[in-house]
Amino acid sequence: MRHFFCTIVMLFAVAAAAQAQEVPQQLRNPGDTISFQRAPLADSTLVGKTVFQLLEGKEVTLNQPQEMDQAYARYIQANGERKMNGYRIRLFFSNKQSARTESEELEKEFQLQFPQIPTYRSYTNPFFKVVVGDYRTKSDAIRELNKILPFYPKAIVVKENIWFPAI
């Protein structure tokens, strides 16, 4: 949605810049005839800049009908109990005799350090594992992994079925 909005804004900015350019005086022929020269497709001052850089420091308001919010809320509610493909961060994976108690302790410790991130402890014979988070994309999981790595250096991103995460 953010990329779509930014694309629309950029298209309007380019169109407005192209319309605002006039034919310079030296290109005009004597008399009533004017020679036409096509305006550049993009403003050279915009080269190498993103829409986000151009909008930095400015307030942007998104106006949308209330029905859109309601439809999105219904979509989340209908799919909240469904699992989807995604990523989690694995903190622990072991089959040692002490793996159960280690996984319980690790889960409690992690919940104290990062209470906003959901934790999941599971047992699949013969392995105990602790994974955290529900991330739609690998880049989201890696961003969170970078915050967790100083405390859990063996943590890795794994692909799993996740609960439909809140946006």
Asked if 50 and 93 sit in the same domain, the reply is: no
What separation, in Å, do the N-terminal and C-terminal C-alpha atoms of the chain show?
12
The type of residue at 33 is T
Whether residue 36 lies inside any domain: the answer is: yes
Flag whether 101 is in a domain: yes
Within 10 Å of residue 133's Cβ, how many Cβ atoms? 23
Task: Establish if 66 belongs to a structural domain.
Answer: no
Domain count, the chain: 2
Q: Which residue has the higher pLDDT, 110 or 16?
A: 110
pLDDT digits (tens, 9 = 90+) for 127-163: 999 999 999 899 999 999 999 999 999 999 999 988 7
Q: Which domain holds residue 51?
A: 2-58
Residue 121 domain flag: yes
Residue 46 domain flag = yes
CB atoms within 10 A of CB 165: 15
Tokens of 82: 């469904």
Bridge partner list, 123: 128
Report residue 140 as tokens. 């989201």
Instruction: Give the Cα separation of 107 and 61 in Å (integer).
Output: 41
With cut-offs at 50, 70 and 90, classify the pLDDT of residue 24: low
Q: Is residue 79 part of a domain?
A: no
Same domain, 99 and 53: no
Say which amino acid occupies 88. R
Residue 119's domain is classified under what CATH number? 3.30.70.1070
- Whether 91 and 39 map to the same domain: the answer is no
Residue 38 shares a structural domain with residue 100: no
pLDDT at 15: 55
Q: Is this structure's pTM higher than 0.95?
A: no
Judgement on whether residues 92 and 54 belong to the same structural domain of the protein? no
The verdict on residue 99 lying in a domain is: yes
Same domain, 89 and 156: yes
As a whole number, the mean pLDDT across the chain is 80
Residues 89, 158 within the same domain? yes
99 and 147 share one domain: yes
Q: Is residue 71 part of a domain?
A: no
Token pair in block for residue 132: 């955290």
The DSSP result for 16-85, as a single string, is HHHHH----GGGBPSTT-B---PPPSS-GGGTT--HHHHTTTS-------HHHHHHHHHHHHHHTT-EEE
- 114 & 43 share domain: no
Helix (H) or strand (E) run with residue 113 in it: helix 99-113
